[in-house]
Structure 1
Amino acid sequence: MGMRRATLRIRGKVQGVFFRESSRVEATRLGLTGWVRNRDDGSVEAVAEGEPAALEEFIRWCHRGPQAARVTDVERSDEEPTGEFRTFIVERSS
Structure 2
Amino acid sequence: MKQFHLIVRGRVQGVGFRYFVQTLALENHVMGWVRNNPDGTVECIAVASLDTLHTFVEKIKLGNRFAKVQDVEITETEPKELFSSFKVKY
* TM-score (normalizing by structure 2): 0.95
Query: Paired residues, what number?
Result: 90
Among 62, 75, 89, the alignment partner of 1:64 is 62
| Paired-residue identity, % | 38
Aligned counterpart, 1:13: 11
Structure 1 unmatched ranges of 5 or more: none
- State the distance in 2 between where 1:26 and 1:62 align: 8
* TM-score (normalizing by structure 1): 0.91
- State the distance in 2 between where 1:34 and 1:79 align: 13
Structure 2 unmatched ranges of 5 or more: none
- State the distance in 1 between where 2:71 and 2:36 align: 15
Q: CA deviation at 1:81?
A: 2.9
1:14-93 alignment, distance < 5 Å: 14-82=12-80, 84-92=82-90
RMSD: 1.0
